Amino acid sequence: MLQFVLDDGNNPLVSYAARNSTTGKASADATSQDSKSEKPLYQLGQRMVTTSKSKDKLTVKCSGEISAAVGDIKATKEVTFTVQQSSDGTTSVSVDPFQF
């Protein structure tokens, strides 16, 4: 799930962090060229919950927190994602769109 978010160059969680920062200058800094060159750091919450699973147990739907930090700007968001294993053993992950 984390790799899916990392691969999204337009991840809305970073913009959300900038808009909702508690530091006075952080929101303006986040849109500056310097902040855009910083790579965001992502972290999954310690608790992931399985909310449903298929009868064959090859598909599970889960939820948990993910945090994004750029410099001193950080935001945390609850995400819902689905993990599915195909018959050939390949695993795929899809993340529900963020709702802000």
User: Does residue 24 surpass a pLDDT of 60?
Assistant: no
Which one is predicted more confidently, 74 or 17?
74
Cα separation, 45 vs 88, in Å, equals 30
d(CA 62, CA 42): 18
Strand 41-53 to 59-70 pairing: antiparallel
Structure tokens at 64: 């948990």
CATH class of the domain comprising 2-95: alpha beta
Residue in the block written with tokens 């298929």: 54
Confidence category of residue 47, pLDDT binned at 50, 70, 90: very high
- Please tell me the pTM assigned to this model: 0.60
Binned at pLDDT 50, 70 and 90, residue 41 comes out as: confident
CA–CA distance, 77 with 57 (Å, rounded to integer): 27
Whole-angstrom distance, CA of residue 84 vs CA of residue 88: 11
Structure confidence at residue 62 as a pLDDT band (50, 70, 90): very high
Domain ranges of the chain: 2-95
Task: Report the distance separating Cα 65 and Cα 47, nearest Å.
Answer: 8
